Amino acid sequence: MPSEIISPQSKNESFVEECHCNANYMTPWATVIAMLALYLLLLFWFCKHGKKLCLPAPDSIYPYKRRLRYLKRVLDPLLVDDMFIELTDNKLGQGSVGFVFKGYVFPKSQTRFKQKTFAAVKMSYPMPQKSIGLLEEAARMARLNHPNIVKLIAVSKLSFTAFRPMFAMEWLPGGSLAEFFRDEIRRKDEIDRERVYVRQIVHILRQVGEALKYIHESKDQEGKEITHGDVAARNVLLTHRQLDTCIAKLGDFGLPIDFGPKLPIPWLPPEIVCSLDRINTRHRPESDVWMFGVLAWECATLGAEPHHHRTFEEIQWAFTLQDRGLARPPDCPAEFWIFIMDCLSEQHRRPRFSGPIESNSSALYRLKTLELHFSHSHQRLRMVENVSNCTCLQHRCSIPLPPFTVR
């Protein structure tokens, strides 16, 4: 039987129809492949950039990652494994960014447990903002090296691996100057109280002045001036409690990120307390001088609290008084009192710690003059009781002072 003759046109139509059927048959697979490729691309992008979509609240570690890298570089020579820093149950105190415990630091040797060194170990609260504040304090201490400044010994590696900052400072058995006034003066009967002479107080203040001069003449990594920010008796530490021969060291560096309700307003100068722009207020060397004047007043009263039980508004009003609301103690010598009042004067009139020390404009020159003047004096200082200015029945003094940040 003769085969059917197929024309060229019929062949073309058949080929087109077959290709069209094959194209329709492949379309679902092409769609699946395209969707899979798109899914893989999205997965790759999410792995690279998706962390930004999952950021927690602003008070997290992520905003501080760049700063943490810098702080780790600064503190790297002091980093040790956490096993080389040991805490005890003896809590020495707590501040706005963490706790301070008595502890030990062990050397990196096989006999380390026989060579432990006493230390004051500071650990931050479990909040990222407070942790950064503690590491910033450690970085400031690491850059400073002076015999009248508390020395940083070691920083735990957990500060960066687990973001639980902890560092160890040298141990000073004498405790703080505020503790000395409390334990040796205010908690004892008059007959048992330690005798404190003007020459001893000036000796302590002169050493603190040496530390402030070193700080104010130093610069940070950006070339900016450095200040202490919290000059007070609670932050002056003693090697022992014999005031004639002890070494005084300034510790607890830098006003933390936020003191909260514990902001030391009674020690702060009016340019900070009365500032309308509290967020951008800058702590300058002149502010340290004012706080040093309040410290000198604390010493002259043997541990009285400045502006005791005054409200925020009463403290602001006290700044307008001639004595700035800090009355002259009965046994305070005139030369010493004049120096205190000069420290509590207007910003441009206050003596400076930085610069030459051959004139009356230098706070250190004034202190050395006082030290020489009272070197053989037997003039004593007597305790002044804290006098409350609160007149209400509900004690307005119990209302927290307003918090604000000091940069």
Question: pLDDT tens across 232-250, in order?
Answer: 999 999 999 999 999 999 9
Residue with more model confidence, 16 or 222: 222
Kindly tell me if the per-residue pLDDT of 283 is higher than 80: yes
SS3 213: helix
Q: What is the pLDDT of residue 177?
A: 94
pLDDT exceeding 90 applies to what percent of the chain? Answer: 42
Q: Which residue has the higher pLDDT, 65 or 281?
A: 65
pLDDT value for 394: 43
Bridge partners for 66 per DSSP: none
Contacts of 235 (CB under 8 A, 6+ apart): 176, 250, 251, 252
Whether 84 has a pLDDT exceeding 70, the answer reads yes
Residue 298: its H or E element: helix 285-300
DSSP annotation string for 237-288:
EESSS-TTTPPEEE-S-S--S--GGG--GGGS-HHHHT-S--TT----HHHH
- What single letter denotes the amino acid at residue 316? Q
Query: Where is pLDDT greater, at 329 or 36?
Result: 329
The whole-number pLDDT of residue 361 equals: 92
Q: Domain ranges in the chain?
A: 62-170, 177-398
What CA–CA distances, in Å, run from 62 to 53, 54, 146? 12, 11, 35
Q: Which residues, 6+ apart, have CB-to-CB distance to 191 below 8 Å?
A: none
Q: Are the beta carbons of 305 and 358 closer than 8 angstroms?
A: no
Task: Answer whether 0.85 is exceeded by the pTM.
Answer: no
The whole-number pLDDT of residue 352 equals 96
Write down the mean pLDDT value for the chain: 81
Round to whole Å and give the CA distance between 135 and 123: 10
Instruction: Output DSSP code: residue 255.
Output: -
130: pLDDT confidence band, cut at 50, 70 and 90?
A: confident
pLDDT value at position 60? 56
Let me know if domain 62-170 sits in CATH 3.30.200.20.
yes
Are 364 and 217 a contacting pair, CB within 8 Å?
Answer: no
pLDDT at 272 over 70: yes
Phi, psi of 104 (to 5 degrees): -140, 155
> What is the CB neighbour count within 10 angstroms for residue 268?
24
* Structural fold of domain 177-398: Transferase(Phosphotransferase); domain 1 (1.10.510)
Tokens encoding 407:
């940069």
Q: Phi and psi at residue 332, in whole multiples of 5°?
A: -80, 125
